[in-house]
């Protein structure tokens, strides 16, 4: 029988391997989690982080290796059994049950609640208590399918915390949360820690890792690289361990001329935003920041023809345009990378090739026929440019790691050759290396004269990349900030947060 390192450790994995067909997702990896610590897992997209966690909760069966939980051999056949033993996981790609209510979802798989499951009133009452504890104001009877991505994420977090687990696995829990919600999650993590609960924290956001984690394990290409106390690493040294080489500045120097106004909106009003006016010039990156629900995505969705506009005007190169639907928007030269890639960005059970081709059929057409050869080479060019890591472009999108799915979405829109590119959280779930590539591409496209609008809740990113920054507060623009003031230090994270909160 395997022997553990002792009582300090809640979970000890040794020699775990897992392959999917020809892909070696995990090769002989180890992981040692102490009681009451927050343990970061870092690594590039496809490094094997989610696979390792899924093996621990029994969603994947490891090909070999041993796991000890509280010093005892541990084996489970699925998440429900893992929860019973004391391990629960918040998934990277949310899988909420759309037809369940908020309350039902919070108590799903929670065996203790079996008795009252039938009692709707009691379930709702208990749910209200939990929602209040998290200071989260939504009705317990609301359907999960009607929630925003951020709300669904908060519900998943509550659900996990509510299982009285000894180990909570969080796979990129903040990817769709705003700064305020992220702070609330951090408070929850501190409380869990105080209760002696261990947390595995997976994130591509360096500042989060340094602010809440005690220890970090690094993975690269399915292999375990090292485990260190957070006090012994720096951002630079971590990034080097992740990518296996020295890395320079993540944010590129953007030195391209800013030209004439390409895109302009006046007095846009719709559901969740009112009286929005701004313009974007060719070669310019306009950043939009604000709390979740402040109306940024809603404005962009209306511009892109996904939601109706109540009033206002949109101009492209001086001419008024109307985008009643997405097709019209694309034809008018607008492309939008949506924040919710699983709902709007990808057909998960279609190949990468088909996904990239979808809005680009005119590019691939030869007369009335589809030029298959051209489709393949063009798609490959874009997939390579964005370094999509996949067995082949014929693989289904669902088999890709989270960050690689995002790259496929970017590839498909960049190929449509737009004049205005709207990016809603473009680097969500994307690793540092690929982030840097996306930033480089944004600069490259700006250089070619595109007008770029980027929504981002990641302040370091939006501060580094934007020539100009608009801060939203409750559906309106509450301030315009400039890159030179960010560079000179006149505008700081605090300045922006204050504006996000309406000051
Ligand atoms: N169900 C699956 N079928 C086939 N291949 C898979 C499956 N799940 C994962 N993989 C492959 O295993 C490797 C590891 O993927 P995994 O999702 O664990 O990466 P990750 O470190 O979580 O990445 P990310 O940061 O992008 O979330 C990748 O090459 C991925 O394509
Ligand atoms: Mg993952």
Ligand sitting nearest the alpha carbon of 18: 1
Cβ < 6 A, ligand 1 pocket: 20, 23, 25, 43, 45-51, 92, 399-404, 431
Contact (Cβ atoms closer than 8 angstroms) between residue 156 and residue 91: yes
- Is residue 392, in this structure, part of any structural domain at all? yes
Tokens of 16: 């775990």
Mutational pocket test of ligand 1: of 25, 53, 91, 205, the residue with most ligand atoms within 8 Å of the beta carbon = 25
**How distant, in Å, are the alpha carbons of 45, 46, 47, 101, 359 from that of 404?**
7, 8, 11, 31, 19
Among all chains, which residue has been given the structure tokens 């501190």? Answer: 190
Name which of 428, 464, 459, 425 is nearest 443 in CA terms. Answer: 464
Q: How far is CA 198 from CA 9, 165, 195, in A?
A: 10, 9, 9
Mutate to test the pocket of ligand 1, among 50, 200, 217 (most ligand atoms within 8 A of CB): 50
Test site for ligand 1: of 176, 389, 395, 399, most ligand atoms within 8 A of the Cβ: 399
Domain boundary at 417, 432, 454, which?
A: 417
CA distance 136 to 128: 9
Last residue of a domain, one of 209, 243, 277: 243
How confident is the model at residue 492, as a pLDDT? 92
Same domain (yes/no): 399, 424: no
Domain harbouring 474, CATH code: 3.40.50.300
Distance CA 133, CA 343 (A): 29
In this structure, are 84 and 159 located in the same domain?
yes
What range does the domain containing 234 cover? 9-96+147-243
Angstrom distance (rounded) from CA 196 to CA 165:
10
Domain identity same for 298 and 428: yes
Rounded Cα–Cα distance for residues 303 and 34 (Å): 49
281 lies in the same domain as 348: no
The DSSP bridge pattern shows strands 334-337 and 420-424 to be parallel
Indicate if 279 and 325 belong to the same structural domain: yes
Residue 483 placed within a domain: yes
State the distance from the centre of ligand 2 to the C-alpha of 464, rounded, in angstroms: 25
Can you say how many angstroms the Cα of residue 475 is from the centroid of all Cα atoms in its chain?
23
Domain match, 276 and 423 both = yes
Tell me phi and psi for residue 475, to 5 degrees: 80, 0
* Beta strand segments in 35-182, E: 38-42, 64-69, 72-73, 87-90, 167-171
Distance CA 158, CA 185 (A): 10
Q: How far is the CA of 23 from the centre of ligand 1 (A)?
A: 9
Q: Report pLDDT digits (tens) over 428-481.
A: 878 887 788 889 888 988 998 999 999 998 888 999 999 999 999 999 999 999
Residue 423 CB-density burial (10 A; 0-12 exposed, 13-18 middle, 19+ buried): buried
Strands of the 23-34 sheet, one edge to the other:
23-34, 9-20, 64-69, 72-73
Would you say 429 and 91 are in contact if contact means Cβ atoms under 8 Å apart? no
| Structural domain contains residue 122 | no
In a domain? residue 431: yes
Residue 1 lies in a domain: no
> Atom 18 (ligand 1): residue with closest C-alpha?
48
Measure the CA–CA gap between 281 and 262, rounded to whole angstroms. Answer: 5
Q: Are residues 432 and 356 in the same domain?
A: no
**Rg of the chain's alpha carbons, rounded to an integer?**
23
Testing ligand 1's pocket by substitution, the residue of 16, 17, 18, 20 carrying the most ligand atoms inside 8 A of its CB is: 20
Q: How far is the CA of 158 from the centre of ligand 1 (A)?
A: 26
In a domain, 134, yes or no: no
Q: Ligand 2 center to residue 113 CA distance, Å? A: 30
**Residue 478: closest CA among 454, 494, 457, 502:** 502
Kindly state the tokens that stand for 387.
């370094």
Ligand 2 centre distance from Cα of residue 49 (Å): 6
Q: Is the dihedral of CA 241, 242, 244, 245 positive or negative?
A: negative
3-state secondary structure of 279: strand
pTM of the model: 0.76
| Structure tokens belonging to residue 446 | 């700006």
CA dist., res. 193 & res. 87, Å (int): 15
Do the domain assignments include residue 25? yes
Q: Are residues 269 and 315 in the same domain?
A: yes
Contact 308, 302 (CB under 8 A): yes
Name the domain boundary from 417, 451, 472.
417
- The pLDDT tens digits of the residues spanning 185-194 come to 898 899 889 9
Whose CA is closest to atom 24 on ligand 1?
Answer: 45
Token code pair at residue 168: 């909570």
pLDDT per residue rounded down to tens, the chain (503 residues): 455 676 899 999 999 999 998 889 999 999 999 999 999 999 988 899 999 999 999 999 999 999 999 999 999 999 989 999 999 998 876 666 778 888 888 887 664 455 545 577 888 888 888 888 777 888 999 998 888 777 888 888 888 888 888 999 999 888 878 777 888 889 889 988 998 999 999 998 888 999 999 999 999 989 999 999 999 999 889 988 988 876 677 888 888 899 999 999 999 999 999 999 999 999 999 999 998 788 999 999 999 999 999 999 999 999 999 999 988 998 899 999 887 766 667 888 888 888 888 777 666 566 666 677 878 888 888 888 777 888 888 998 888 877 788 888 888 888 878 999 999 998 887 888 778 888 988 898 899 899 999 999 888 899 999 999 999 999 999 999 999 999 999 999 889 989 998 88
Query: Looking at the domain assignment, is residue 250 inside a domain?
Result: no
Protein residue with its CA nearest to atom 27 in ligand 1: 402
Residue with CA closest to ligand 1 atom 3? 399
Question: How far is it, in rounded angstroms, from Cα 76 to Cα 3?
Answer: 19
Provide the domain count of the chain: 3
For the four alpha carbons of 299, 304, 310 and 311, in that order, the dihedral sign comes to positive
């Amino acid at each position: 029988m395997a022997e553990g390192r002792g009582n300090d450790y809640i979970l000890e994995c040794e020699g775990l391997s897992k392959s999917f067909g020809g892909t070696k997702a995990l090769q002989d990896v180890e992981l040692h989690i102490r009681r009451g610590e927050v343990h970061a897992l870092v690594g590039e997209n496809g490094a094997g982080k989610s696979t390792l966690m899924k093996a621990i909760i029994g969603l994947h069966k490891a090909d070999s290796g041993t796991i000890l939980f509280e010093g005892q051999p541990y084996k489970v056949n699925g998440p429900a059994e893992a929860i019973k033993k004391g391990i629960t996981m918040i998934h990277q790609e949310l899988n909420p049950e759309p037809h369940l209510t908020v309350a039902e979802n919070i108590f799903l798989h929670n065996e203790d609640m079996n008795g009252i499951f039938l009692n709707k009133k009691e379930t709702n009452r208990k749910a209200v208590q939990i929602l209040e504890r998290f200071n989260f104001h939504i009705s317990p009877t609301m359907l999960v399918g009607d929630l925003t991505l951020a709300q669904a994420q908060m519900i998943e977090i509550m659900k996990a915390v509510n299982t009285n687990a000894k180990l909570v696995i969080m796979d990129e829990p903040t990817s769709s949360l705003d700064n305020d919600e992220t702070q609330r999650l951090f408070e929850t993590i501190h409380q869990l820690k105080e209760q002696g609960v261990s947390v595995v924290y997976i994130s591509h956001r360096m500042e989060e890792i340094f602010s809440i984690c005690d220890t970090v394990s690094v993975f690269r290409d399915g292999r375990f690289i090292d485990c260190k106390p957070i006090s012994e690493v720096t951002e630079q040294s971590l990034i080097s361990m992740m990518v296996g080489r020295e890395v320079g500045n993540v944010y590129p120097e953007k030195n391209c001329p800013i030209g004439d106004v390409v895109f302009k909106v006046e007095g846009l009003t719709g559901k969740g935003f009112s009286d929005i006016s701004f313009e974007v010039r060719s070669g310019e990156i306009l950043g939009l920041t604000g709390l979740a629900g402040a109306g940024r995505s809603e404005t962009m969705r209306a511009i892109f023809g996904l939601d109706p506009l109540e009033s206002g005007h949109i101009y492209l190169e001086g001419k008024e345009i109307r985008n009643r639907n997405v097709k019209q928007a694309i034809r008018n030269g607008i492309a939008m990378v949506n924040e919710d890639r699983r709902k709007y960005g990808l057909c998960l059970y279609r190949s990468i090739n088909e996904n990239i081709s979808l809005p680009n059929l005119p590019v691939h057409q030869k007369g009335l026929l589809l030029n298959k050869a051209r489709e393949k080479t063009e798609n490959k060019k874009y997939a390579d440019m964005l370094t999509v890591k996949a067995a082949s472009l014929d693989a289904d999108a669902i088999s890709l790691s989270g960050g690689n799915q995002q790259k496929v979405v970017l590839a498909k829109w960049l190929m449509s050759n737009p004049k205005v590119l709207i990016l809603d959280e473009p680097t969500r779930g994307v690793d540092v290396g690929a982030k840097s590539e996306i930033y480089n591409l944004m600069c490259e496209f700006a250089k070619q004269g595109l007008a770029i609008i980027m929504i981002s809740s990641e302040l370091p990113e939006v501060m580094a990349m934007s020539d100009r920054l608009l801060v939203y507060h409750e559906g309106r623009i509450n301030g315009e900030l400039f890159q030179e003031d960010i560079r000179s230090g006149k505008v700081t994270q605090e300045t922006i947060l204050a504006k996000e909160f309406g000051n």
